[in-house]
Structure 1
Amino acid sequence: MFVLSRVLFCGGVMVPERTSLTVCQFSVVHRLTSPRKNSPYSSVDSERYSSLVKSVMSSRISSQTPESLQAEDDQVYGPVVKAQMPSRNEPRVPKILYSLLNSERAIETEDPETGPPTRIMLNRGQGRPFVPSVTRILQQTLSPEQSFYLERWKRRMIAELGEEGFKAYSQNLFKQGKDFHAALEGILTSAETWKSGNLLETSEFPPEVQGYVQSISHVLEDVRAVRAIESTVQHSALNYLGIVDCVARYKGVLCVIDWKTSEKPKPFLSNTYDNPLQIAAYAGALNSDDNYKYQVENGLIVVAYKDGTPAHAHQVNAELMSEYWKTWLLRLEDFREPRSSASSSPSPEK
């Protein structure tokens, strides 16, 4: 009797472990087979892979289960520590919540008989203390995401136009905006012109702003009782200033109005980015400024288009204005905190 203790290949037939063959049986098998050919497994190191062969031959189903795998991983790598869900932070609130409205002034329901619109020029003469503007504060407190997209847009424009081309493009946009506001000032200070329907005769305006004027014509039909145009407002307690485009009634509601131009449609208030914060800042400053005897708690952002497409008019009611005012106060804190810490830190010794 011949006993095999490992897997053997006999004449091309694989024989399992511990298979008994008589010498006679072995020789008969050998005689009945064709002449032996070289097997592709002849070069396999059977000693090295014997344990693998045994495990495959002994069972067709793995004995490992999700539970056993988990136990094995715990032993090798340690138990799994599940991360806790991040807790929701409480919304940030201003350290000092200044009121948007002035408690010493009443909110007018009807406009008194007044003269021409107020226009207080900005005075930054020598010897006057520096007061930051609303525009400056917003620009220097942009979020990282806003800064990223603004810088990416600038790089893309420079790549398309070149440094000089981008500079000329920016200057042209500034000039168009300036000419547009000058045209608006002429329209709003001579109200009879657009009340009589002559506004559509845009040929009297510079060619580069005719489309913008056409774009806002339907909005101007609902604008009445202009109280201020291109006038400086300054918050006495918070110490910032700005130049408000217009204060007037829109559909009967007294509003701070901001006129904007855009090359892309902005059909939603969210498309106007920081503009709601800007008009909230202007409203708060106007309500605090002794040069104005009334106060405003509503806003209007009008986005005009060069091709004459009807402008989008985004109203900001009193409730929304109050929320934007709180956000503006936070931006004002962000603007001042680095400066206050820098001024309070000791100067290095020379």
Structure 2
Amino acid sequence: MFIRNHVTSVVAIMYQCTSLPMRNFSVCRYLSSPKRRSSYSLVDSERYSSLVKSVMSSKVSSQTPETLLAEDEHIYGRIVKAHIPPTVSEMREPKSLHPFLLHEKTEETDEAESAPPLRIILKRGQDRASIPSVTRVLQQTLSSEQIFYLERWKKKMIAELGEDGFKEYSQNLFRQGKRFHTALDDILMSDATQKDEYASDTLELPPEIQGYVESISHILEDVSAVRAIESTVQHDTLKYLGIVDCVARYRGVLCVIDWKTSEKPKPFLSNTYDNPIQVAAYAGALNNDGNYKYQVEHGLIVVAYKDGSPAHAHKLSSELMLQYWNIWLQRLEKFTELSSSHVSSAFSQKK
């Protein structure tokens, strides 16, 4: 009985609703209105039919993910996966631990920072003939993946430029980098007034480095208290040496600064490959070198661009420097092992 009454009520309600005038329902009013014409129907299709046919009939090869990736790589270069520095807990410890800082040193006073920048010229004598440079150690301890990508890039460049063209391209890059560093030396060795004047007047610079200097102009504004320029550092215990580009304060923090040039943007630290290891190696040698009476815990990598676009400045905190210092110790151990194996094999061949 209850179900019957309920059904009867529902039917009554439906009857009342359907008996209402149709104009009270917005949907019904929309349905009763005249059909709107699409704006596309007003287009003269015959006028554009030839254009549509020409586009649709174009012989374009079908694209696959592989071909799209190859085309993108040809235009923009290889996609570089970011390498996140390992944390202290994840990182493999080197066999022999050497301190990054030499605690016997004392921090110099402000008066010492006002002195002219130190510049120790590298002299290769008998006592340094067997001491490897930081660059040499890093080059000879590249991973198989790094070697693969370098070889592939070299083959690609030779295919585009030819053997002679690639050789000339490499020489031009080296020449530009050397002139860029020379200009930086002059800028940093000058006083503040001359530095600003020299940096802004690009007409006095060689044309091929004007863009690079313009690129770092905003970085130079934050560089002060230059302590060393193009100066040799040596680690007597670990037996390696290098030439540090610059030691100065960047935004008030004393840093080992490494100036780099690039034709492609490098907005992330991971884009600089082994450069952070290089900076940590320089800082570790400086901290253990008696010619330098201070300690450096931070680093800075500045990437300048030829087109004059603002350079990227990658800061290395003291924590990051320690991580890369441990990686450097591993690379140095690997280099020592490889050198020992080469000496052993050469000795056995003589027998």
TM-score, with length taken from structure 2: 0.71
Deviation string for 1:152-185 (max 9, x for gaps)?
A: 0000000000000000000000000000000000
Matches of 1:276 and 1:333, distance apart in 2? 18
Whether the aligned pair in 1 keeps the contact of 2:231 and 2:244 (CA below 8 Å) is yes
Q: 1:218 offset after TM fit, Å?
A: 0.2
Whether the aligned pair in 2 keeps the contact of 1:187 and 1:193 (CA below 8 Å) is no
1:93 aligned counterpart, secondary structure? coil
Shift of the 109–148 alpha-carbon distance from structure 1 to 2, 3 Å rule, reads: farther
Matches of 1:297 and 1:282, distance apart in 2? 11
2:216 aligned counterpart, secondary structure? helix
Shift of the 255–127 alpha-carbon distance from structure 1 to 2, 3 Å rule, reads: closer
2:238 aligned counterpart, secondary structure? coil
Shift of the 95–159 alpha-carbon distance from structure 1 to 2, 3 Å rule, reads: same
Counterpart residue number, 2:94: 94
Matches of 1:136 and 1:184, distance apart in 2? 24
Counterpart residue number, 1:229: 229
Counterpart residue number, 1:254: 254
Counterpart residue number, 2:332: 332
Whether the aligned pair in 1 keeps the contact of 2:233 and 2:241 (CA below 8 Å) is yes
Whether the aligned pair in 1 keeps the contact of 2:113 and 2:225 (CA below 8 Å) is no
Counterpart residue number, 1:133: 133
2:348 aligned counterpart, secondary structure? coil
Shift of the 318–128 alpha-carbon distance from structure 1 to 2, 3 Å rule, reads: closer
Q: 1:191 offset after TM fit, Å?
A: 2.6
Q: 1:344 offset after TM fit, Å?
A: 5.5
Deviation string for 1:108-165 (max 9, x for gaps)?
A: 5856354211111111135654210000000000011110000000000000000000
Whether the aligned pair in 1 keeps the contact of 2:230 and 2:243 (CA below 8 Å) is yes
Question: 256-265 or 185-194, which moves further after superposition?
Answer: 185-194
Matches of 1:128 and 1:330, distance apart in 2? 22
Matches of 2:111 and 2:98, distance apart in 1? 26
Matches of 2:178 and 2:141, distance apart in 1? 25
RMSD in angstroms over aligned alpha carbons?
2.0
Q: 1:90 offset after TM fit, Å?
A: 7.1
Say which structure, 1 or 2, has more relative contact order (CA 8 Å, 6+ apart).
Answer: 2
Shift of the 107–263 alpha-carbon distance from structure 1 to 2, 3 Å rule, reads: same
Matches of 1:230 and 1:349, distance apart in 2? 41
Greater share of helix: 2
Matched, 1:265 2:296: no
Matched, 1:207 2:179: no
Tell me which amino acid in the other structure corresponds to 2:348: S
Matches of 2:214 and 2:264, distance apart in 1? 16
Shift of the 289–121 alpha-carbon distance from structure 1 to 2, 3 Å rule, reads: same
Shift of the 231–127 alpha-carbon distance from structure 1 to 2, 3 Å rule, reads: closer
Counterpart residue number, 1:105: 105
Equivalent positions of 1:168-179 (< 5 A) are: 168-179=168-179
Matches of 2:229 and 2:90, distance apart in 1? 40
Matches of 1:174 and 1:287, distance apart in 2? 29
Deviation string for 1:304-344 (max 9, x for gaps)?
A: 00000000000001010000000000000110112224545
Question: 124-133 or 164-173, which moves further after superposition?
Answer: 124-133
Whether the aligned pair in 1 keeps the contact of 2:107 and 2:293 (CA below 8 Å) is no
Counterpart residue number, 1:347: 348
Tell me which amino acid in the other structure corresponds to 1:281: A
Tell me which amino acid in the other structure corresponds to 1:284: G
Whether the aligned pair in 2 keeps the contact of 1:111 and 1:225 (CA below 8 Å) is no
1:260 aligned counterpart, secondary structure? strand
Tell me which amino acid in the other structure corresponds to 1:131: I
Matches of 1:98 and 1:285, distance apart in 2? 11
Q: 1:199 offset after TM fit, Å?
A: 2.2
Counterpart residue number, 2:242: 242
Whether the aligned pair in 1 keeps the contact of 2:261 and 2:303 (CA below 8 Å) is yes
Whether the aligned pair in 2 keeps the contact of 1:102 and 1:288 (CA below 8 Å) is yes
Counterpart residue number, 1:219: 219
Shift of the 211–146 alpha-carbon distance from structure 1 to 2, 3 Å rule, reads: same
Q: 1:92 offset after TM fit, Å?
A: 2.1
Identity rate, percent: 69
Counterpart residue number, 2:313: 313
Whether the aligned pair in 2 keeps the contact of 1:246 and 1:258 (CA below 8 Å) is yes
Deviation string for 1:162-219 (max 9, x for gaps)?
A: 0000000000000000000000000000032356555222111111110000000000
Shift of the 349–206 alpha-carbon distance from structure 1 to 2, 3 Å rule, reads: closer
Tell me which amino acid in the other structure corresponds to 1:140: Q
Shift of the 268–128 alpha-carbon distance from structure 1 to 2, 3 Å rule, reads: closer
Shift of the 103–127 alpha-carbon distance from structure 1 to 2, 3 Å rule, reads: closer
Matches of 1:323 and 1:194, distance apart in 2? 38
Shift of the 233–268 alpha-carbon distance from structure 1 to 2, 3 Å rule, reads: same
Residue ranges of structure 2 left out of the alignment (5+ in a row) = 1-88
Whether the aligned pair in 1 keeps the contact of 2:187 and 2:195 (CA below 8 Å) is no
Tell me which amino acid in the other structure corresponds to 1:105: K
Q: 1:226 offset after TM fit, Å?
A: 0.4
Residue ranges of structure 1 left out of the alignment (5+ in a row) = 1-88
Tell me which amino acid in the other structure corresponds to 1:246: C
Whether the aligned pair in 2 keeps the contact of 1:195 and 1:221 (CA below 8 Å) is no
Deviation string for 1:6-49 (max 9, x for gaps)?
A: xxxxxxxxxxxxxxxxxxxxxxxxxxxxxxxxxxxxxxxxxxxx
